[in-house]
């Protein structure tokens, strides 16, 4: 499921980014082809993991080269740190990734090929609308109790299907309003039966399995208790998990420390238990400038590079202790969302100015913004060429990308014509609507994400060229998320979502009109009116239809149509897709980067070459 991304991307001149220099035509200092130091296809990726049974325990054997035990991997994260360690209640990328270290799902995705492969499940089969999974025998929770099908049944019956925590997986599993049925075959075999064959279903079984004996006493108390469960204040020693790492320490606004789970079910080629690392540490840094300073000081091991830093780091690579990888286009999307919400509150009263709703619901107004935004300038001046303009709701590396949707340059003449068609008037450089109100609104983003802050500065000027007054306001990430998800009290926002290049249904929680991340026209649980726009109704039908088509070409046609609707209606203005360039310390071994999964996805296989450490 898509989640909000908290971090931004780094570039050095952000603090000096004035209006005058934004307008300069700076030549790109980087092209991916020029600096691509290694083709990922040439990296020798290990074979698929194997099932190995030893003394009645069904282990998953890594085929990566055998490494050395010990040491710690130090990463960084932008923002305030995780909001929860409850894997069933994560709504942002940081919380999701950290909770994901603690809990595994039945299935996962092969990091290179993208195919569905077993994880907690030893094997699985799919026949029509029946999906049978065989759980590994002999596995234990971190408190020593066995992992059985009862934990699987509890996770889906009492958490997912009842809509506890984040409802995105439940919503994604609904087929024409019906959930799958679930059957216990025996203590280690479970069967799901969907109302009809359902293309995305196996990928949805990556949902984390949680321990019934630990979670049920809390879920029995109701939704509020469940949502508060495993907050960052939870003593780490109390958390029962099954992942490669256990939570060791959390210090607010400073660091999150995970320690090796010595009873993990994955083993190496010598049948010794993984992971190799003793500790995995996330340093919580305030912004992207601090992130790069930590890497420069050798306090962290991995750094995502953006903007001017790419060329600088590349020039130093041959004499450095790091290696640079080009992972291709980002799998997520970066955009500006426009508030189309019906701004009546539950009592039917208008809680914000009605004139803004009229502006934002006018397609000509949204199109004018789209034509005024200078994506090419953003790529030059903010990303320093390490990006490509984005116009579609699918990422540039998606196998479902609609390539017929063509990009266009900034054109203020087209933008002004769109505004004129809806009766807007520019007088003395100021834009007014039909009633004589000046067009003025707020533009939000999350503070500390310096790339987004610079995008906001640039969009502010782009729209001022149309006579609009834009109040750009970076605010704390949690405050921003609460505004977008739980109120109508916002106008526009620059934000990003995670995404899957393999499965458009991953975005159901965004595109369905009742989805929890349908940010541009959010429905509240107690909302008694249905003000779906005509194209929103069409989107609802498309998302349902795409999921039950099993043929790729048929699905591609359907998802091409959904992209056409977003491209035409523009509730979201897509900006650009960064090229993911990552610097990794050479002392890290078993690094097998892929464009699909990134660099350190296989943290249970990574080890530290202590001989290669720089003193």
Q: What's the CATH code of the domain at 95? A: 3.90.76.10
pLDDT of 472 reads 98
- What is the mean pLDDT of each successive set of 10 residues along the chain, which is 615 residues long? 50 26 26 42 84 97 97 93 95 91 97 94 96 98 97 98 94 92 96 95 96 98 97 97 98 96 97 98 91 96 90 93 93 94 57 81 98 97 93 94 95 98 96 96 92 96 97 92 86 92 90 88 62 90 93 95 97 95 97 92 96 53
Three-state helix/strand/coil letters over 166-186: CCHHHHHHCECCECCEEEEEE
- Looking at the DSSP assignment, which residues form a beta bridge with residue 133? 124, 190
Question: Does a structural domain hold residue 102?
Answer: yes
Question: Does a structural domain hold residue 60?
Answer: no
pLDDT of 47 reads 84
Strands 607-608 and 430-432: unpaired
Residue 171: count of CB within 10 angstroms of its CB: 17
Cβ–Cβ < 8 Å for 382, 454: yes
Question: Does a structural domain hold residue 363?
Answer: no
Residue 548: count of CB within 10 angstroms of its CB: 18
User: Cα–Cα distance between 198 and 540 in angstroms, integer?
Assistant: 16
Question: Does a structural domain hold residue 277?
Answer: no
pLDDT of 613 reads 53
Number of domains in the chain: 1
Strands 266-267 and 279-285: unpaired
pLDDT of 371 reads 98
Question: Does a structural domain hold residue 199?
Answer: yes
pLDDT of 450 reads 86
Helix-then-strand count for the chain, H and E: 19, 26
CA distances from 531 to 56, 280, 344 (A): 58, 48, 11
Range(s) of the domain holding residue 215: 82-224
Question: Does a structural domain hold residue 513?
Answer: no
Give me 267's structure tokens. 């083993």
DSSP string, 448-462: T-HHHHHHHHHHHHH
Q: What is the largest CA-CA distance in the chain?
A: 82
pLDDT of 39 reads 59
pLDDT of 58 reads 98
Classify residue 576 by burial, with Cβ atoms within 10 Å: 0-12, 13-18, 19+: buried
Cβ–Cβ < 8 Å for 73, 260: no
Produce one character per residue of 191-206: b if its CB has 16 or more CB atoms within 10 Å, e if not: ebebeebbbbbbbbbb
Percent of the chain with pLDDT over 90: 75
Question: Does a structural domain hold residue 314?
Answer: no
pTM confidence score: 0.85
The DSSP output letter for 265 is: S
In this predicted model, what pLDDT tens digit does every residue of 259-278 receive, in sequence order? 999 999 999 999 999 999 99
Distance in Å from the first CA to the final CA of the chain: 42
Question: Does a structural domain hold residue 125?
Answer: yes
């Amino acid at each position: 499921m898509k989640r909000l991304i908290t971090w931004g991307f780094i570039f050095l001149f952000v603090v000096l980014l004035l209006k005058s220099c934004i307008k300069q035509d700076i030549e790109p200092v980087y092209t991916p082809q020029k600096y691509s130091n290694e083709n990922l296809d040439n990296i020798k990726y290990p074979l698929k993991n194997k099932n190995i049974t030893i003394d009645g325990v069904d282990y998953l054997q890594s085929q990566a080269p055998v490494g050395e035990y010990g040491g710690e991997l130090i990463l960084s994260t932008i923002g305030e740190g995780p909001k929860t360690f409850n894997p069933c209640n994560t709504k942002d990328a940081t919380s999701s990734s950290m909770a994901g270290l603690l809990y595994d799902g039945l299935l996962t995705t092969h990091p290179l090929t993208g195919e569905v492969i077993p994880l907690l499940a030893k094997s699985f089969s799919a026949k029509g609308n029946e999906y049978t999974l065989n759980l590994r025998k002999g596995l234990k929770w971190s408190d020593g109790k066995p992992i059985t099908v009862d934990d699987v049944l509890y996770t889906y019956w009492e958490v997912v299907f009842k809509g506890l925590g984040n409802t995105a997986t439940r919503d994604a599993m609904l087929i024409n309003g019906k959930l799958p049925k679930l059957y216990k075959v025996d203590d280690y075999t479970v069967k799901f039966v969907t109302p009809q064959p359902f293309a995305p279903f196996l990928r949805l079984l990556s949902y984390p399995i949680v321990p019934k004996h630990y979670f049920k006493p809390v879920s029995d108390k109701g939704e509020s208790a469940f949502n508060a469960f495993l907050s960052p204040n939870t003593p780490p020693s109390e958390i029962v998990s099954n992942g490669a790492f256990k939570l060791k320490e959390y210090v607010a606004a400073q660091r999150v420390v995970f320690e090796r789970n010595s009873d993990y079910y994955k083993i190496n080629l010598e049948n010794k238990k993984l992971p190799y690392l003793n500790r995995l540490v996330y340093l919580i840094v305030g912004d992207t400038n601090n992130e790069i300073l930590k890497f420069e000081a050798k306090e962290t091991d991995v750094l995502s590079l953006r903007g001017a830093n790419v060329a600088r780091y590349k020039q130093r690579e041959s004499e450095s202790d790091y290696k640079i990888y080009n992972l291709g286009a980002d799998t997520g999307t970066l955009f500006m969302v426009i508030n189309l919400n019906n701004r009546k509150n539950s009592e039917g009263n208008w809680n914000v100015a009605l004139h803004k709703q009229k502006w934002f619901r006018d397609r000509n107004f949204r199109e004018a913004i789209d034509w005024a935004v200078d994506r090419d300038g953003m790529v030059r001046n903010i990303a320093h060429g390490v990006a490509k303009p984005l116009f579609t709701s699918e990422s540039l590396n998606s196998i479902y990308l609609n390539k017929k949707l063509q990009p266009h340059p900034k054109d203020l003449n087209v933008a002004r014509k769109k505004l004129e068609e809806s009766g807007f008037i520019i007088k003395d450089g100021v834009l007014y609507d039909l009633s004589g109100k000046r067009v003025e609104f707020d533009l939000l983003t999350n503070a500390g994400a310096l790339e987004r802050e610079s995008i906001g500065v640039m969009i502010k000027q782009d729209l001022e060229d149309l006579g609009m007054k834009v109040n750009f306001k970076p605010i704390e990430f949690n405050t921003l998320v609460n505004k977008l998800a739980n109120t109508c009290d916002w106008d526009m926002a620059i934000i990003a979502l995670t995404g899957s290049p393999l499965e458009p249904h991953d975005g159901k929680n965004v595109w369905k009109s009742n989805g929890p991340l349908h940010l541009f026209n959010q429905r509240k649980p107690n909302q008694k009116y249905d003000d779906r726009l005509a194209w929103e109704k069409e989107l609802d039908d498309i998302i349902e239809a795409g999921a039950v088509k099993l043929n790729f070409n048929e699905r591609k046609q359907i998802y091409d149509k959904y992209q056409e609707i977003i491209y035409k209606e523009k509730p979201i203005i897509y900006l650009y897709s960064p090229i993911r360039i990552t610097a990794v310390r050479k002392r890290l071994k078993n690094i097998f980067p892929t464009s699909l999964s990134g660099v350190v996805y296989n943290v249970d296989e990574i080890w530290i070459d202590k001989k290669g450490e720089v003193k």
